[in-house]
Amino acid sequence: MAIKLILLVLFFGVMISIGIYCRKNASDVNGFVLGGRSVGPWLTAFAYGTSYFSAVVFVGYAGQFGWKYGIAATWAGIGNALIGSLLAWAILGRRTRIMTQYLDSATMPDFFGKRFESRSLKIAASVITFVFLIPYTASLYNGLSRLFGMAFHINYSVCVVIMAVLTGVYVIAGGYMATAINDFIQGLIMIVGIIAVIAAVLKGQGGFMAALDGLGRVSDPSVSATPGVFASFFGPDPKNLLGVVLLTSLGTWGLPQMVQKFYAIRSEKSIETGMIISTAFAFIVAGGCYFLGGFGRLFSDRVDAAVEGYDAIIPAMLSDLPDILIGIVVILVLSASMSTLSSLVLTSSSTVTLDLIRDNFKKDMSEKKQLAVMRILIVVFVAVSVVIALIQYRSNVTFIAQLMGISWGVLAGAFLAPFLYGLYKKKTSVLSCWCCFLFSVVFMLINLFAKESLPTVLQSPINAGAFCMIAGLVIVPAVSIFTPKPDAERLDAIFSCYSKKVVVDQSEALGNSFSSKEK
């Protein structure tokens, strides 16, 4: 217990110290929300990765999908790295940074409002962001409490309150820069932690080959009659596994707290370097989490998933580890959860302050008041999410994966296509964005409250969320064809930001040739 407590106190001390240190970078709105658009590649890449992966992935998704699909669940981690990180940076990174700076937008709703010249669209995006980030936040607390209960035997409510207060303190003090630096440290802890835990768990099963052989001997007639299916390449249900890969990978393209990381990138070189770092981070952390979860059925003697729920699987796998490793695991999941939570509360508070209050009710709000309101809203957002997390826990509403699936389904389904086409296609119309917003919100609410009315394959929030994203990619261009076209002259002016000539050093971009004098 002493080892665990020492690690915990050190971790919290470092986090708070960084928040206090970064106060000077949070003296204006641009610095508080975007770090002055001067964040380097390592910090940006780790901020992206740690916001991506949290207790939801480590405890909820890894446990549930590892149990359902066996070792094939690792495909979700591979998809997170290749689609959710590599392609996201390659396709969205540069264009997002250029256009958001040109439009002077600091949030995703602000981007929608200025890009499509629609105040109502901006307000709708703000409301969707604020409302549907709350269940996502509640799911973070749930996952963390499982491990805290195992390691410290601390009451769930105490765990939730401690985590919320400490995260709020360093975000309020240092804003985005404090979050980015803490994310970097937390990311390093996550990398070391997941490698150490995988090695320890596999060693306890006699090594990788012995564990894989044991997994191949597991059978569950209710899932599949095929022998060794949980140790196979695609697992017992490739179709639903594809839905998991799509939601958890492609979904990041439409999540405000993820895309906003691209707003703050410092330079062209930072994009290229950050893309490599972020992809490697995802391979290790996400791939490692799902790979570990794939061996969950080897521990069926310690946990009954049907009774205790999927969220109990990973804690059961780790319960016999040495104290020092359990301490590392707790810090790992705490790091993952606090980094994601800090990103969520900063995104939500800035959205409400800048896109709702300032632009609609208090247009002459000073810089100082904007910062004050954002900090107050961080407190409000954290408090509301804590209350919902406690209610959810006591009423046993749903598992972590379902809670997060609903949130991701609405946000990614509503925003992915309008944002992507908004960056690339001039003729994307306002009405097409509205159709995408309404379709995703309504469809996911039907999935939440009346899923029996949907086809069986879409009754899962995971599959429903993936369906909303794919549908949005069809809805936006299709509706744009038949709706009034935006003002061409205005769009030409906006898209001219991509054509601006820039001069860079020869070391960053090759020139065509040298003159005779230069030779």
Q: Span 2-490: which CATH code?
A: 1.20.1730.10
State residue 514's pLDDT score: 45
State residue 76's pLDDT score: 92
State residue 290's pLDDT score: 92
State residue 519's pLDDT score: 41
Domain boundaries, the chain: 2-490
State residue 305's pLDDT score: 67
What Å distances lie between residue 13 and 169, 184, 198, 383, 404, CA to CA? 12, 16, 27, 22, 29
Tokens read off for 54: 């949290």
State residue 470's pLDDT score: 93
Tokens read off for 48: 């992206």
State residue 36's pLDDT score: 62
State residue 152's pLDDT score: 66
Q: Which residues contact 208 (CB under 8 A, 6 or more apart)?
A: 202
Single pTM value for the model: 0.82
Tokens read off for 356: 């709702």
Task: Give the pLDDT of the chain (519 residues) as one tens digit per residue.
Answer: 677 677 778 877 887 888 787 777 667 777 777 666 667 778 888 888 877 877 677 777 788 888 889 899 999 999 999 999 999 999 998 899 889 888 888 888 889 999 999 989 999 998 898 888 877 777 777 666 666 666 666 677 777 787 788 878 878 887 778 778 888 887 888 888 889 888 888 888 888 999 899 888 888 887 777 878 888 888 888 888 888 888 888 888 988 888 888 887 777 777 888 899 999 999 999 999 899 989 988 888 777 766 666 777 877 787 777 777 777 777 777 777 777 777 777 887 887 777 777 776 777 778 788 888 888 888 888 888 788 777 766 765 545 556 667 888 899 999 999 999 999 999 899 999 999 999 999 999 998 888 889 898 888 888 888 899 999 999 999 999 998 888 888 888 888 888 877 666 645 554 444 444 444
If we measure between CA atoms, which residue out of 344, 337, 292 comes closest to residue 315?
Answer: 292
Q: Which residues contact 141 (CB under 8 A, 6 or more apart)?
A: 159, 160, 163, 164, 337, 385, 386, 389
φ/ψ (deg, to 5) at 39: -85, 135
Beta-bridge partner residues of 39: 265
Tokens read off for 319: 């319960």
